[in-house]
Amino acid sequence: MAMIALKCPDIQVAVVDLNQQRIDAWNSECLPIYEPGLYEVVKACRGRNLIFSTDCRRHVAEADIIFVSVNTPTKMTGVGAGKAADLAYWEGAARMIASVSTTSKIIVEKSTVPVKTAEAIGKVLRRNCADPDVHFEILSNPEFLAEGTAVKDLEAPDRVLIGGRDTQEGRAAVEALSAVYEQWVPRERVLRANLWSAELSKLTANAMLAQRISSINSISALCEATGADVQQVAHALGTDSRIGSKFLNASVGFGGSCFQKDILNLVYICESVGLERVAQYWHSVIQINDYQKNRFVERVISGMFNTVSGKKIAILGFAFKKDTGDTRETPAIDVCHGLIADDACLCIYDPQVSKDQIYRDLAAPKFQWDLPMLPNGAQVPFTDSQIEKSVSISSDPYQASAGAHALCVITEWDEFADLDYERIYASMSKPAFIFDGRNVLDHGRLQSIGFITYGLGKPIDPFLRSQQC
């Protein structure tokens, strides 16, 4: 919305939320999320044609176009628990919009939603609006930006996708929204589709991106078993223009608020329409991701003489990727849990994630981040006191590494490549191990300093090979 305000000075943009604290943060110098370049965009238009407010009803009543960007978490209980998207927030928003509307409006689905949500939401809107002359036209306009590069992605998107009904009102609404984007996006990049195609495109785009990561991660295991180097394999694959080079970085696993949730949702939709085999296919993308996280933990434990009990391990990076403070579904949570279960003492450093956030994530049941309250009976993997006993947080990577037996790189922050590894080596217990879950370090140099190194999908160090269980 900030980008729309920046690029379209004639449009008044009001961002509304019920949460006063969040709105206060958006109105302050310290935005509630870390996203490179976002503060500059917000600052340029805040108070001009961009406002942040908790007065939802007033701004919704006044608007011509309403972008609904509420959470659509995975359902935790009831039918479809663990897979289906929970549309409770969406439905609540639709009821509120209907109850305050006295003029016709275009309703834009920005949240990622299951296919055919627009149909259900349309019914809620129409049945809850007192004025029969008010018309709601629903469009699907999924967001493809990635965190950490959001401003860049929005400045020059590969495409903008708008789905609408093939009726006179539907086509007019698509054109109205397209006109907003066309103020900075070339018209040929604004794709038009029917509603269901647009909704399904978003789920499928995320599923296919995640599938590429699981594919290369599965090959990383094969590389380790055979002596091939996954980065060389990825490079060779990526130079084939039909495959392309992006999203082929082997990693400790994908995270983030979208990939797992959207695949689970796709799986659920396939199962709902009886496509069991298709559901299994997509589910395997998540299974390989879980396998990769476990495999990493097993490598750490087996490499360190089959025990990490009582050993200090420095965890470098906790966010799900670099340049964000977001920890939703970060592989760091599973890796830390795996090591804590084997009695390791962890010291975690991340340049953007707060101490409180890390403790909350490690003590929370899965998906807790997206729920308004803890559902009854949800399993917390470890108690708060267990986490506090096994985990400390440091604001300095050198302090986190001092006295450690091993370093584990979980997030690919640029600064990790530039640390003074001679200094780190001197301060660590020996033998000093580095397990690089992102392949961002110079392993040859580290080995010459004296480290025993492990890189995902890289030829195994003879020292580690002899430790394999």
The footprint of ligand UDX (CB under 6 A) covers 143-147, 206, 209, 213, 247-249, 251, 254-256, 258-259, 320-321
In the complex with ligand UDX, the residue whose CB is nearer, 388 or 414, is 414
102 annotated to a ligand binding site: no
At residue 92, the 3 state secondary structure works out as helix
| Closest to ligand UDX by CB, 178 or 206 | 206
> What are the beta bridge partners of residue 54?
none
Round to whole Å and give the CA distance between 300 and 294: 10
Handedness of CA 348, 350, 351, 354 (dihedral sign): negative
Catalytic residue among 258, 336, 347, 408: 258
Is 259 part of any known ligand binding site? yes
Q: Name the residue among 434, 432, 435 with its Cα closest to residue 456.
A: 435
* Closer to ligand UDX by Cβ: residue 228 or 378: 228
462 is in an annotated binding site: no
User: How far is Cα 111 from Cα 59, in angstroms, rounded to an integer?
Assistant: 19
Is 167 within any annotated ligand binding site?
no
- Between 261 and 311, name the residue whose CB sits nearer to ligand UDX: 261
Active site residue 469: no
Asked whether residue 232 is marked as a ligand-binding residue, the answer is no
Q: How far is the CB of 258 from ligand UDX (least distance, A)?
A: 3
Contacts of 307 (CB under 8 A, 6+ apart): 301, 342
CB of 367 to ligand UDX, least distance (A): 16
Strand partners, 453: 434
Shortest Cβ distance from residue 310 to ligand UDX (Å)?
A: 30
At 89, give phi and psi (nearest 5°). -65, -40
**To the nearest whole angstrom, how small is the minimum distance from the Cβ of residue 166 to ligand UDX?**
26
9 labelled binding-site residue? no
Nearer to ligand UDX, 70 or 449 (CB): 70
- On the question of a cis peptide bond just before residue 36, with omega within 30 degrees of 0, the verdict is no
Strand spans (E) along 338-468:
345-349, 391-393, 406-409, 433-436, 452-455
Give backbone dihedrals phi and psi of 373, rounded to 5 degrees, phi first: -150, 165
The kind and range of the H/E element at 332 are helix 331-341
Least distance from ligand UDX to the Cβ atom of residue 323, Å? 10
Binding residues: 17, 22, 70-74, 111-112, 147, 258-261, 328
Binding residues for NAD(+): 17, 22, 70-74, 111-112, 147, 258-261, 328
Catalytic sites, residue numbers: 258
